[in-house]
A and B are shown apart, each in its own frame.
Chain A
């Protein structure tokens, strides 16, 4: 009986010792995960590559059910929408005529100025398979990796505007760091007043404008677009609208609705700036001119 009791006590001590070791291991991971994020990033990419196709397969029936429900709702709205679209189409055709005229005029003026065109933009459209946002992180996983031509640092945009940038890339999947994440910094400019600032994520729905000059004239309703500084995003991408100016804090409502993202366009603008680190990088800091990402597939605009 005594030996059984001793064995149980020994097992209990071994268990406690192992538990303490595991807690120390978790502490160790926190420490190595911080400075050596390349290693953690690689393991994360492998994990994403394994799980993203599975998550995508599982989410298909959910998407199908949602689409069916949406189709039924849409059916009733179709007639009114059709009328509106016909009117819009007439307007757009008129705009197309104007655009063609301007295009021809632009071409002739460029000819006169001996204008050097910038690099061509290429893109990959990828579907969002997982929303890995939490209280402390804002990110998504998309189905599209190096095989499809996705590269780290590419801008992630939707029809509404800038959503984020590619943070990690695996072979078949990539992780997008959203502009609402606490690590995201986007150099922006107010469309009306031309005041420059940095849009900083706060892990909430409304990122904040930082480093505005004291005499800036930013007001509620002002549209913010990328300024192109830092060489990560090109100038002029729509980002969001100022919704609150209180006590020196200026909050911006992004144009992109992050909760309803289904597809995202990953664009390579072939800009000279690159991102130095995975996280915590201030993209407004001077970035070394280096190689731009190379797209192997995708259409050109």
Chain B
């Protein structure tokens, strides 16, 4: 067996780290001070979409350990009640992994629909947990806005992710 060279190993490593790295990059990019109104919720939406997409398409590269690191960094950066973001992302990862085989080869609209259901559940759970931990009912309109943002952002992001997957990642 031929041992891969250092360059080949580096090439394999960065490709393997791409889904998790890309998710973190998107999160930090969304947190940059863009000076645009109402952009705040987008970081959480991007992270959820990315974790769902990559778990569905490249589960080997979006492992639960990857989700753990993304969730921890997200919760530390965004001042959300600690652990809530992580818990919700883990549950979304678990559902995507569980439904993965059933969705394999299904039309995009169906996958988008399932994502909508998962995102609605995830947003509702986040809202309930945040309200519980804050000991007051958080404005539900904000949670609904987050859900709409996730739903609307999924198709364009999934398109870009699929392009990256075809170009840069090995077939699963």
Contact = CB atoms under 8 A, between A and B. Distances in A.
Contacts of B82: 29-30, 32-34, 40
Interface string B22-51: 000000100111111111110110000000
A245 interface: no
Given A136-B138, A182-B136, A203-B139, A29 B86 contact: yes
A62 B35 CA distance: 11
B34 A62 contact: yes
A47 B141 CA distance: 30
Main secondary structure of the interface of B (DSSP, over half): helix
Contact of A182 (B39, B44, B86, B138): B138
A23 B89 CA distance: 10
Contacts of A202: 139
A13 interface: no
A62 B38 CA distance: 18
Contacts, number: 137
A33 B94 CA distance: 23
B90 A23 contact: yes
A26 B78 contact: no
A32 B83 CA distance: 9
A55 B90 contact: no
B31 A131 contact: yes
B32 A260 contact: no
In the complex, which of the residues B39, B73, B139 has the most CB atoms of chain A within 10 Å of its own CB atom?
Answer: B139
Contacts of B86: 26, 29
A161 to B, nearest CB: 18
A286 B169 CA distance: 59
A66 interface: yes
Nearest to A19: B64
A152 interface: no
In the complex, which of the residues B39, B77, B135, B141 has the most CB atoms of chain A within 10 Å of its own CB atom?
Answer: B77
Given A30-B133, A55-B28, A262-B35, A131 B40 contact: yes
Contact of B79 (A28, A139, A204): A139
A58 to B, nearest CB: 7
B47 to A, nearest CB: 10
Nearest to A204: B139
B124 to A, nearest CB: 12
B83 A33 contact: yes
Given A51-B28, A59-B33, A259-B39, A29 B64 contact: no
Nearest to A168: B79
A23 B87 contact: yes
Contacts of B138: 135-136, 182, 203
A18 interface: yes
In the complex, which of the residues A22, A28, A44 has the most CB atoms of chain B within 10 Å of its own CB atom?
Answer: A22
B19 interface: no
Contacts of A177: 79
A214 B14 CA distance: 64
Interface in A173-188: 175, 177, 182-183
A182 B77 contact: no
Given A27-B87, A131-B39, A134-B41, A175 B79 contact: yes
A33 B40 contact: no
B119 interface: no
A26 B28 contact: no
A137 interface: yes
Nearest to B135: A280
A260 B34 CA distance: 8
B142 interface: yes
Interface string B76-120: 111111111011001100100000000000000000000000000
| 3 nearest A-B pairs in the assembled complex, by CB-CB distance | A33-B82, A133-B40, A29-B83
13 contacts: A48-B77, A55-B28, A58-B32, A130-B33, A132-B78, A133-B40, A135-B40, A135-B145, A136-B138, A204-B142, A260-B35, A261-B33, A261-B35
Interface of A: 15, 18-19, 22-23, 26-34, 40, 43-44, 47-48, 51, 55, 58-59, 62, 66, 128-140, 167, 175, 177, 182-183, 202-204, 259-262, 280
Given A29-B82, A182-B134, 7 more contacts: A31-B83, A34-B81, A47-B73, A129-B32, A129-B33, A261-B33, A262-B35
